[in-house]
Structure 1
Amino acid sequence: MIFFKDIVLRKAKDNELDELYNLETQNIEWTKFNGPYFGYKKPSLEEYNNNTFKKLQLGKTHLVIEYNKVIIGVVSYYWECEDTRWLEAGIVIYNNNCWGKQLGKKVMIAWVSNLFESLNSIERIGLTTWSGNKRMMKCAESIGFQLEGRIRKVRYYNGVFYDSMKYGVLREEWAKYEYNVFL
């Protein structure tokens, strides 16, 4: 488990399948910000159980976000290219009542700290978003991520072209921050 202020990142418990499934699928406002140009297809409970929930139970690449003892979302990472140690991190806060409270900032501090601590082979953590997600861009920049690239007008959503925004932070840059995260 990872603790940072009022945030806990942890594995999913066996009895949380329905809660997590409902959190993702009942209020899909979050899909307007999390790559909406890809479209969202609601998984069946069985699909969710066999994919996302299994990853959350393993707790390696996916963890549950808990705020004040209530599950509000998930964090994850994936390899863009494991051979070159190119890692990308992500976050989804499903509960829109938790938006605008800087919880994403706390979550990302805890998650990035954990990734650098547990994956000694990486020197950089990336985060990709789109220019339509102003809160994610602000969050990334506020914790030390640098804008490394802007791929112009490659995300088409609701009749408008948006840019893909590539952020990254290096291990030595992250080490300069004194975040008191308990891993």
Structure 2
Amino acid sequence: MLKLEDICLRPARNDERDHLWHFIYVQNEWKAHDAPYFPLEHQSRFQFRRHLFKRLKEAQTAMVIDYNGEAIGYLSCYWEDQSTRWLEVGITLFTSQYWGKKLGRKALTLWITHLFERYDVARIGLTTWSGNPRMMKCAEALGMQEEGRIRSVRFFEGKYYDSLRYGVLREEWQAQSKDDNTLRCVS
């Protein structure tokens, strides 16, 4: 378990399986901002239990975001290219009642710190799109640099958007962690 103020990253509990499934596949307000140009591949409760929920329980490549005792979202990591140690992160906060309160920033702070401690990688990246200004602001507030912008490649609701790649190097992350007590994890 990783904790920063009122945010905790932890493994999923068995009694949350239906709650998590519901907010990912049924009441999925988050999807309007998280790559809505890609259709959400619905999973049955059985498929969810065998795949994403299993990852959330194992807490190696995905963790639940707990805010005051409630599962409000999750974080994940994946290899863009494992042979070159190219690791990316993702975040989902389920509903708008938790957006704009810096909860995602705190969760990503914990997650990125944890991943740098766990993996021998030089950089951790995050990909978003120009239709998600909150995610862009969050990445920049974390000290991530905009490393790439592919213009007008995300077509959604009759409009083109840019794809954005952000990244932070290990030494940049460690330098800002020394200067900012809020970047320290408590296990």
Distance across 2 between alignment mates of 1:71 and 1:95: 11
State how 1:46-125 maps to structure 2 within 5 Å.
46-119=46-119, 121-125=120-124
CA distance in 2, matches of 1:74, 1:171: 23
Any residues of structure 2 matched to 1:145-156 within 5 Å, and which? 145-156=144-155
Q: 2:15 & 2:27 partners in 1: Cα distance?
A: 21
Q: How far has the Cα of 1:103 moved from its partner?
A: 0.7
What is the aligned partner in structure 1 of residue 158 from structure 2? 159
> Percent of aligned pairs with the same residue?
46
- Give the CA deviation at 1:19: 1.5
| 1:100 Cα deviation from its structure 2 partner | 1.2
Q: TM-score, normalised by structure 2?
A: 0.94
Letter in 2 for 1:163: D
> How big is the shift at 1:26?
3.1
Q: How many angstroms apart in 1 are the aligned matches of 2:95 and 2:64?
A: 13
| Alignment RMSD | 1.0
Which structure 1 segments of 5+ residues have no match?
none
Deviation of residue 28 (structure 1)?
1.6
User: Where does structure 2 lack aligned partners over 5 or more consecutive residues?
Assistant: 178-182
Aligned residues: 182
2:180 aligns with none
Structure 1: how far apart are the matches of 2:25 and 2:107? 21
State the distance in 2 between where 1:83 and 1:162 align: 30
Distance 2:41 2:122 in 1: 34
Distance 2:49 2:158 in 1: 34
The ranges of structure 1 where at least 4 consecutive aligned residues each deviate by more than 6 angstroms after the TM superposition are none
One-letter amino acid of the structure 2 residue matched with residue 75 of structure 1? L
Correspondence for 2:185: 181
Residue by residue, what CA displacement relative to the aligned partner does 1:46-105 show, whole Å, maximum 9, x if unpaired?
Answer: 121111101111111010000011110000000000000000001000122111111111
> How far, CA to CA, are the matches of 1:117 and 1:4 in structure 2?
16
